Amino acid sequence: MRKTPPRWPWVLVAAVVLAAAGWMLWPRHDAGAPGTAPAPTPSADPAARPAPDGTHAPAIAHPIDVDAADAAIPPLADSDAAAWEALSGLAGDPALLDVLLREHLVRRLGVMIDNLTEPRMPTRALAMRPLPGTLSTEGDGATRWIAQANAQRYEPYVAAFAQADPQRVAAAYRRFYPLFQQAYAEIAGGDAYFNDRLVAVIDHLLQAPEPAQPLQVVDGADGKVRFADPALEALSVGEKALVRLSPDQRERVKRQLRSLRGTLAQG
């Protein structure tokens, strides 16, 4: 059995929990002192960006009831402690959140989720540390595939997401929504609407294919493990992460995504 460093599967499952709860915006900080606000790395998705001249502001498709916001929440720049407390209450097992970077939490997670629809995820867009453990493969030479044992590593994150109460998640999201909207507008433009982008990302993830098992992989020229099927390798980082889960785990994640979408979308 061969092992390589893990990357996207656990990241997606943990990040989707956060995205569904509304934790959006700002990339990982690659240089500088800890605590320094990171620079924005918005998705290149043109549908998520407002018109350059600002003359045709996009209509809001999925408005959020701002009356549910918490007037007592701190400003965005001082929101880390409050955001972490709320997130810990949703996670069930706070130990699952140890991989997160706590500084500038709302901003970091938002950019990471925004970039899940892209073909690659810049390192500076990550909001998390690497998960302990490795991605295991079986077989030799050109005939290798992702080992079924990987599902055991992903299971705590899948279970935490699948068992979360969608109504509680949505309530926490609405409570903090002004911070999410402020952070998103700072990188995407004043007319960009955070909840519309969140629903679009969820819709994108729900389109992840259901490939035949086992999933064959190869080593790329850079030494990284890649899907042998070019169609799978061409998927976005978010879709690839879902594909790497076991079929049962993927179904549970998608089922919860549909439930969460129903609490956040108008149609």
Q: Rounded to an integer, what distance in angstroms lies between the CA atom of residue 83 and that of residue 171?
A: 13
**Identity of the amino acid at 129:** R
Q: Is the pLDDT of residue 256 over 60?
A: yes
**Residue 69 pLDDT grade (very low, low, confident, very high; cuts 50, 70, 90):** low
What are the structure tokens assigned to 132, written together?
Answer: 């302990």
Strands 143-146 and 135-140: antiparallel
Confidence of residue 210 (pLDDT cuts 50, 70, 90): very high
pLDDT of residue 12: 47
Q: What pLDDT band is residue 76 in, cutting at 50, 70 and 90?
A: confident
- Quote the pTM value: 0.80
User: What would the pLDDT profile of 92-110 be if each residue is shown by its tens digit?
Assistant: 677 777 777 778 888 877 7
The fraction of the chain above a pLDDT of 90, given in percent, is: 19
pLDDT at 267: 59
d(CA 32, CA 127): 16
Neighbours of 85 (CB within 10 A): 9
* Residue 9 confidence class, pLDDT cut points 50, 70, 90: very low
Using one digit for the tens of pLDDT, what is the confidence trace for 149-163? 888 888 888 888 888
The residue ranking higher by pLDDT, 55 or 122, is 122
Q: Which of the pair, 236 or 122, is modelled with greater confidence?
A: 236
Q: Name residue, tokens 């990171």.
A: 38
